[in-house]
Amino acid sequence: MTNNGRIFLGIVTAAAVGAVVGLLFAPEEGNKTREKLRKGTNSLADDLLEALNKGKQQFEDFKETAKEKAYELKGRAESKYDDVKDKANDLKDKAEGEYYASKGKVKDQFGA
């Protein structure tokens, strides 16, 4: 669990405990206190579920963005690789051409 997740869980837990303790020590009838506890628990559960769903959606969005970026970077890397490979082949061909041209000149000069 990340730090943000732990902090959020701690805040939610502390709020729930504080609400329960506050209601238990409130000078009201048991029925009213239980009703407030029920409403507070439901509200807290709804808030927690909403936060979890929001976090899940943010994670899915991040995952999708990361996937798109990975494909984009892969394409760019493949393109760069092809460019470098083509340049290396061009240099090799040029070097071979120079070699054979020089070899021919040497043969011509020395009659070999």
| Tens digit of each residue's pLDDT (9 = 90 or more) over 16-43 | 777 777 766 766 676 776 777 777 778 8
Report CA dihedral (60, 65, 70, 76) to the nearest 10 degrees. 170
pLDDT above 90 coverage of the chain, percent: 38
Residue 63 has pLDDT above 80, yes or no: yes
Q: Which of 29-33, 45-49, 57-61, 76-80 has the lowest mean pLDDT?
A: 29-33
- What distance in Å separates the CA atoms of residue 112 and residue 103, rounded to the nearest whole number? 10
Q: Which of 54-58, 63-67, 85-89 has the lowest mean pLDDT?
A: 54-58
Q: Which of 12-21, 68-77, 82-91 has the lowest mean pLDDT?
A: 12-21
Alpha helices in the chain (DSSP H): 3-24, 30-110
Record the pTM.
Answer: 0.47
Residue 46 pLDDT level (bands cut at 50, 70, 90): confident
Give the pLDDT confidence score for residue 110 in this predicted structure: 82
- What distance in Å separates the CA atoms of residue 100 and residue 109, rounded to the nearest whole number? 14
